[in-house]
Amino acid sequence: MEKTGRTSVDGRVEKRSTIGDVARRAGVSAATVSRVVNGVYDKASAKTVARVQAAVDDLKYRPGSIGRALRKQESRLVPFLVPDVSNAFYSAIAVSVEAALRDREYAMILCNTAEDPVRQDAYLTEMSSHLVPGIAMMGAVESPGLRAMVEGGETLVFVNRRSPYPGAQPFVGIDNFNAGRDVAHYMADHGLDRCGMICGPEASAASRDRRAGYLSGLAERQISPEDAHLVKGGLTVEDGYRSATELFSRNPQPRAVFCVNDLVAYGARKRCSELRLDVPGDVVLFGIDDNPLNEWVAPWLSTVHVPADAIGEAVGRILVEIWDGRTMSDIPDAILPYRMVLRGE
């Protein structure tokens, strides 16, 4: 069994060189090597720096993260918990978070919670054993472990869905209420007032806000909650299919449906197909997220575009602010601009 390490020309695996190897080679102490490698202000003399650099290059030395983490009691690994990696919208965000962290010399470790509180807590405790400096969470659900961390003031950034518990931890996402409201206004203003909504889970603040915005937007156009035709649902494509089945069995059948996210809209679309309803001819479907695949496989879907790239950047920025000592409660939420995307007209 071989360990991961550098390889010499003859194909044998070399041991990683350590700070001690470099020190010996440069004829200085490990402390000095450490300072030079980390660019500590307390500058070493030019000639020492040069000697150390040469030794580093010769030995292809790269500091080991384990030793540093143990000493500093903090690693540079940042877990990102996501509800469903196979949702392309979520994974687009994961990619952007990864890039933002990488720019700042942190590595992201992706954890798939499947919206399961047990898995969420398992990750939370597991990650603590890696001495992580903070955690980013998308689609957080209620769980005892999360509650404790929020109350304990741990370094946490919530993405897309706010914390289920009150706390100082910042949030990055869009204004879900206004997004829902905009969709409702659009419907009302374009003769789509025979409308309905497939809602998300009650436990999700984002879902609740989208629904509240939708209701509020309709009310502003004199459409009553009874005519808003809310149907309960979840966040997966199967949930969307089920909820659509229910919604379309009602009378009158809606002319437009606001789905809590794009995946749910995919599910609703399948039900429309089965019912021989053309989208958007017979039924206009709205989603939220703007899955990157929409352009290719869902040219019939209008949706609210959420800026995945900007999210990662905001998460990276906020984490660094916290690590730099800024108090979490002083950090304003990053509410990013969304825009409606109309398709299939």
Of residues 65 through 104, those in contact with DNA by CB under 7 A are 66-68, 70-73
Q: How far is the CB of 130 from a second copy (least distance, A)?
A: 5
Binding mask 253-292 for a second copy (x = CB under 8 A): -------------xx-xx--x------------------x
Q: Does residue 64 interact with DNA by CB under 7 A? A: yes
Indicate which of a second copy, DNA, none lies near residue 237 (CB less than 5 to 8 Å, by partner kind): a second copy
Q: How far is the CB of 34 from DNA (least distance, A)?
A: 3
Nearer to DNA, 61 or 248 (CB): 61
Q: Does residue 3 interact with DNA by CB under 7 A? A: no
Name the one range near DNA by CB under 7 A: 63-71, 79-87, 113-121, 319-327. Answer: 63-71
Name the one range near a second copy by CB under 8 A: 48-56, 57-65, 175-183, 279-287. Answer: 57-65
Q: Using CB under 8 A, which of 53, 128, 245, 253 touches a second copy?
A: 128
Q: Does residue 31 interact with a second copy by CB under 8 A? A: no
Q: Using CB under 8 A, which of 19, 94, 198, 260 touches a second copy?
A: 94
> 3-class secondary structure for the chain?
CCCCCCECCCCCECCCCCHHHHHHHHCCCHHHHHHHHCCCCCCCCHHHHHHHHHHHHHHCCCCCHHHHHHHHCCCCEEEEEECCCCCHHHHHHHHHHHHHHHHCCCEEEEEECCCCHHHHHHHHHHHHCCCCCCEEEECCCCCHHHHHHHHCCCCEEEECCCCCCCCCCCEEEECHHHHHHHHHHHHHHCCCCCEEEECCCCCCHHHHHHHHHHHHHHHHCCCCHHHHCEECCCCCHHHHHHHHHHHHCCCCCCCEEEECCHHHHHHHHHHHHHCCCCCCCCCEEEEEECCCCHHHHCCCCEEEECCHHHHHHHHHHHHHHHHCCCCHHHCCCEEECCEEECCCC
Nearer to DNA, 20 or 337 (CB): 20
Q: Using CB under 8 A, which of 38, 45, 129, 222 touches a second copy?
A: 129
Binding mask 8-47 for DNA (x = CB under 7 A): -------xx-xxx------xxxxxxxxx-xx---xxxx-x
